[in-house]
């Protein structure tokens, strides 16, 4: 049942972050906030409770958050609820999909569903009751442990907060069904936290705060890479032929690339480091807008290059001629419980093999190995740093950490107007926005602007990094949590 994790192993202490001139200001602000909170938090443990220690955005964010809060002298612990009944996670996955508005999921919740949801949470709560003490603070992440929060709050009278990381900016039958199922747990929660005001269901309307997700600037995915380290990652992972000896060994798990006939092979020559590269890295989910992006790139090539052969000297045309598209996501054979991933990869593959071989040469579709979280993060980091433009063409997006990660690396981003991305990007200020992610013409036009205007692209990237620095770094998120605790206690 509930597992209390040891203090997570992360790479750096708060003092290490503060030693970097870029982070010394935010860390100093954070220390001031922590000092103010010290008296009220004395003797209390803050419990972060979710349902997985690995995989997914929440598990990615919690270790850094917990380590740095402990460094500030605040006692924060992490509990993960478990279930020996696989039906529980099928049920919670269904709730998750419904909250994202998926009308293909079953909207009918039975008495058995409610009983399963509660009984697993009650079992977890039994053990948890022996550990928790009066005065502690409970932060329950996402729907899976929501009943546990209710059970504990009722018995111990604790400050209990529900942190919901998912949502949709409109409602339909699916969202209504999920919220209907969850609403009975809401009244016992002191407060709720959402990523955007549009996501808040009616029953939390008078009782919520907005806290945006954040990135850790020193994680494997976001840390600065020296040129040697960057080329080392590209060579070790097979994305760049090694022209010189490389100090580090090749990664065991290999990246796969689609070949012209739809089979997979080693990436070989991808043009990274040399050409203008347009990159999207995401899960293989239909809602990430892969196919319209692919079509937008095809239009970009066809309309701006093949029709302008007499003008090949212009540097604009040259850039467009050389540009390449990289689409990358986790190898779906490594994610056994995600049949949808395989389906989407196959759709992208079908479209790719229907193209003529000249166009195929300009499109690199990569399946990234997931065996080592560290290597996967380093590959994503390197791919993002090699991009001229990073796209996140989501049809729907809760927040879109892929955009945040790209913006932190000073990349000009092209994002859709999905609600999560609108939280981060203002069109023409810190990125460009396509209004209709399913319109290849609009996508092609925005890509053309970014590829042919390096000055504009540079300024967008610069502003993008500034906005991540101001709003979406881990320090800011901890400050917001502390301020919220102070307000509620």
Residues 358-377 that bind ligand UDP (CB under 6 A): 368, 376
- Beta carbon of residue 281, minimum distance to ligand UDP (angstroms, whole number): 5
Compute the half-sphere exposure of residue 98: CA atoms within 13 Å on the CB side of its CA: 22
Contact partners, residue 260, CB within 8 Å, separation at least 6: 353, 357, 360
Find the part of the chain contacting ligand UDP (CB under 6 A) among 87-95, 173-181, 266-274, 278-286.
278-286
Is 394:421 a contact under the CB 8 Å cutoff? yes
Site for ligand UDP in 118-177 (CB under 6 A): none
| Segment lying near ligand UDP (by CB under 6 A), choices 11-19, 120-128, 135-143, 276-284 | 276-284
Residue 73 CA to residue 31 CA, distance in Å, equals 10
Size of the site for ligand UDP (CB under 6 A): 15
β-bridge pairing 277-281 and 324-330: parallel
Q: Is 279 in the site for ligand UDP (CB under 6 A)?
A: no
Stretch that binds ligand UDP, among 104-112, 188-196, 277-285, 344-352 (CB under 6 A): 277-285
The 407-446 contact track toward ligand UDP, x by CB under 6 A, reads ----------------------------------------
Among 281, 390, 391, 407, binds ligand UDP (CB under 6 A): 281
- Residues 294 to 323: which contact ligand UDP by CB under 6 A? none
Site for ligand UDP in 39-78 (CB under 6 A): 57
DSSP 249: P
Q: Rounded CA gap, 268 and 255, in Å?
A: 10
Q: Which residue is nearest to ligand UDP (CB)?
A: 401
| Strand 208-210 versus strand 256-258 pairing type | unpaired
Nearer to ligand UDP, 124 or 144 (CB): 144
Judged by beta carbon, residue 145 or residue 330, the one nearer ligand UDP is 330
Q: Does 282 sit near ligand UDP (CB under 6 A)? A: yes
**Part in contact with ligand UDP (CB under 6 A); list of ranges 36-44, 176-184, 400-408, 427-435:** 400-408
Work out which of 400, 412, 437, 440 binds ligand UDP, going by CB under 6 A.
400
- Paired with 35 in beta bridges are none
Which residues are 258's β-sheet partners?
A: 264
382 binds ligand UDP (CB under 6 A): no
Does 402 bind ligand UDP (CB under 6 A)? Our answer is yes
- Nearest 10 degrees: Cα torsion 372, 374, 377, 381: -130
3-state SS assignment for residue 392 = strand
Distance of CA 184 to the CA centre of its chain: 29
Among 17, 189, 258, 399, binds ligand UDP (CB under 6 A): 399
Give the C-alpha separation, 235 to 298, whole Å: 28
Of 272, 405, 419, 423, the one binding ligand UDP by CB under 6 A: 405
Show the CA angle centred on residue 17, arms to residues 13 and 22, nearest 5°: 175
Q: Looking at 238, 276, 330, 440, which residue binds ligand UDP (CB under 6 A)?
A: 330
Contact range with ligand UDP by CB under 6 A, out of 132-140, 149-157, 275-283, 433-441: 275-283
Buried b (16+ CB within 10 A) or exposed e, 390-406: bbbbbbbbbbbbbbbbb
Q: Indicate the residue among 402 and 423 with the shorter CB distance to ligand UDP.
A: 402
DSSP 405-469: HHHHTT--EEEE--HHHHTT--TTTSSEEES-TT-HHHHHHHHHHHHH-HHHHHHHHHHHHHHHH
**What does the alpha-carbon distance between residue 359 and residue 28 come to, in Å, rounded to a whole number?**
51
- Interface segment toward ligand UDP; rule CB under 6 A; list 77-85, 395-403, 459-467, 478-486: 395-403
Closest CB to ligand UDP among residues 13, 372: 372
From the CB of 401, what's the least distance to ligand UDP, in Å?
4
Cβ 283 to ligand UDP, closest distance in Å?
A: 5
Q: Parallel, antiparallel, or unpaired: how do β-strands 277-281 and 191-194 relate? A: unpaired
Q: What CA–CA distance (Å, rounded) separates 389 from 387? A: 5
| Residue 337: both structure tokens together | 């419980």
Choice between 93 and 184, CB closer to ligand UDP: 93
Nearer to ligand UDP, 283 or 471 (CB): 283
Q: Give the nearer residue to ligand UDP in terms of CB position, either 375 or 442.
A: 375
CB-based contacts of 281, cutoff 8 Å, min separation 6: 328, 329, 380, 383, 384, 390, 402
Site string for ligand UDP, 196-225 (x = CB under 6 A): -------------------------x----
Kindly tell me which of 276 and 369 has the beta carbon lying closer to ligand UDP. 369
60 vs 71 by CB, closer to ligand UDP: 60
Minimum distance of ligand UDP from residue 118's CB (angstroms) = 27
User: Does 344 contact ligand UDP by CB under 6 A?
Assistant: no
The three-point CA angle 16-20-22 to 5° equals 135
d(CA 156, CA 137): 10
Give contact residues for ligand UDP (rule: CB under 6 A): 57, 221, 281-283, 329-330, 368, 376, 380, 399-402, 405
């Amino acid at each position: 049942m509930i597992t209390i994790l040891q203090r997570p192993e992360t790479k750096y202490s708060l003092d290490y972050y503060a030693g970097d001139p870029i982070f010394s200001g935010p860390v100093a602000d954070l220390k001031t906030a922590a000092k103010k909170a010290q008296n009220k938090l004395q003797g209390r443990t803050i419990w972060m409770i979710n349902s997985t220690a690995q995989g997914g955005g929440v598990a990615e964010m919690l270790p850094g958050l917990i380590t740095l809060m402990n460094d500030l002298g605040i006692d924060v612990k992490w509990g993960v609820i478990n279930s020996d009944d696989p039906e529980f996670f099928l049920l919670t996955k269904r709730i998750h999909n419904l909250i994202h508005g998926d009308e293909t999921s079953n909207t009918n919740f039975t008495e058995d569903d409610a009983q399963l949801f509660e009984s697993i949470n009650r079992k977890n709560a039994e053990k948890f009751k022996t550990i928790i003490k009066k005065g502690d603070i409970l932060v329950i992440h996402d729907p899976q442990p929501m009943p546990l929060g209710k059970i504990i709050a009722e018995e111990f009278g604790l400050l209990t907060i529900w942190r919901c990381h998912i949502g949709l900016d409109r409602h339909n039958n699916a969202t209504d069904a999920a919220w209907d199922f969850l609403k009975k747990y809401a009244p016992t929660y002191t407060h709720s936290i959402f990523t955007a005001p549009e996501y808040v269901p009616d029953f939390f309307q008078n009782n919520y705060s907005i806290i945006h997700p954040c990135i850790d600037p020193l994680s494997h995915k976001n840390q600065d890479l020296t040129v040697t380290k960057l080329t080392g990652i590209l060579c070790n992972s097979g994305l760049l032929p090694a022209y010189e000896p490389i100090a580090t060994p090749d990664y065991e798990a290999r990246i796969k690339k689609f070949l012209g006939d739809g089979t997979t092979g080693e990436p070989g020559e991808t043009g990274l480091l040399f050409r203008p590269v347009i990159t999207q890295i995401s899960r293989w989910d239909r809602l990430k807008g892969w196919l319209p992006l692919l079509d937008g790139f095809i239009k970009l090539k066809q309309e701006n290059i093949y029709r302008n052969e007499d003008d090949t000297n212009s540097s604009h045309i040259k850039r467009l001629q050389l540009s390449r598209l990289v689409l990358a996501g986790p190898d779906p054979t490594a994610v056994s419980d995600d049949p949808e991933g395989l389906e989407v990869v196959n759709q992208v593959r079908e479209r790719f093999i229907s193209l003529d071989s000249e166009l195929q040469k300009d499109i690199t579709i990569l399946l990234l190995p997931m065996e080592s979280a560290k290597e996967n993060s380093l590959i994503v980091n390197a791919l993002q740093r090699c991009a001229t433009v990073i796209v996140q063409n989501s049809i729907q997006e809760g927040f879109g950490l892929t955009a945040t990660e790209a913006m932190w690396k000073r990349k000009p981003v092209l994002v859709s107007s999905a609600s999560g991305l609108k939280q981060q990007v203002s069109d023409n200020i810190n990125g460009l926005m396509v209004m209709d992610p399913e319109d290849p013409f609009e996508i092609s036009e925005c890509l053309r602007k970014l590829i042919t205007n390096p000055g504009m692209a540079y300024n967008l990237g610069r502003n993008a990094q500034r906005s991540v620095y101001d709003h979406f770094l881990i320090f800011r998120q901890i400050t917001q949590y502390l301020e919220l605790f102070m307000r509620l206690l």
